[in-house]
Amino acid sequence: MLSDQIDEWLGTHLNEFEGKPLQSVTKGQLDLGNLENEEEKQATEKASNQFKPVIDRIKETLGEKVKEVRITHRLTTSPACLVADDHAMDASLERLLKSAGQHIMGNKPIMEINPEHLIINALKEETDEKRFNDWVSILFDQALLSEGGQLDDPGAFVKRLNEMFISMGNLSPRIITLS
């Protein structure tokens, strides 16, 4: 496992090891060998078709923040992740080069969504446009944080998250009295 910041740079020059191809999990389409038969390929295509409306809505909500939104099967417990295009620098290498003083034009990430996750399935059914947009923004920011990025507006993230907690839990302000 290559997990140091410099490994992304090394990976651009080292394409195989002992005859086995190396592939970054943070870039492009990832084939984990789990699409071995035609049935599984059809199931993936079916999921992509079923989620096309939600994918289009997510892309519309995020606009210029992402290059693309697509279904993935690389995720098991997370609702979404951000990956780089096949031929683009991944985010950790961009951060490394920027910290070294290099001027780097950031690439737009690809947002991949997990069709098996409850949040993604709830998004599919969400009709309230504001709630949908808030959920999508939270998922994007969460994916950005998970891959080591920094939020453009942490205050907006916290506010959105708090509003969602309140609306989901039917929390109401309570006056606490000390006796």
**If DSSP codes are grouped into helix, strand and coil, which group holds residue 68?**
strand
Q: Is 82 a residue whose pLDDT tops 80?
A: yes
> pTM here?
0.71
Q: Is 38 a residue whose pLDDT tops 70?
A: yes
Distance of CA 69 to the CA centre of its chain: 9
Check if the beta carbon of residue 86 is closer than 8 Å to that of residue 11. Answer: no
Which of the two residues, 6 and 151, has the higher pLDDT score?
151
Q: Is 26 a residue whose pLDDT tops 60?
A: no
Pairing of strands 20-21, 16-17: antiparallel
Which of the two residues, 114 and 48, has the higher pLDDT score?
114
46-169 sits in which CATH class?
Answer: mainly alpha
Mean of pLDDT values over 94-112: 71
Domain boundaries, the chain: 46-169
Q: Is 35 a residue whose pLDDT tops 50?
A: no
Check if the beta carbon of residue 27 is closer than 8 Å to that of residue 67. Answer: no
User: Using CA atoms, how far apart are residues 145 and 83, in angstroms rounded to an integer?
Assistant: 13
How many other C-beta atoms lie within 10 A of the C-beta of residue 41? 11
Q: Is 51 a residue whose pLDDT tops 70?
A: yes
pLDDT of 110: 93
Q: For the chain, what percent of residues have pLDDT higher than 70?
A: 62
Q: Residue 82: which H helix or E strand, with range?
A: strand 80-83
Residue type, 159: K
For the chain, what percentages of helix, strand and coil (3-state, to nearest 5) are there?
45, 10, 40
Q: Is 117 a residue whose pLDDT tops 70?
A: yes
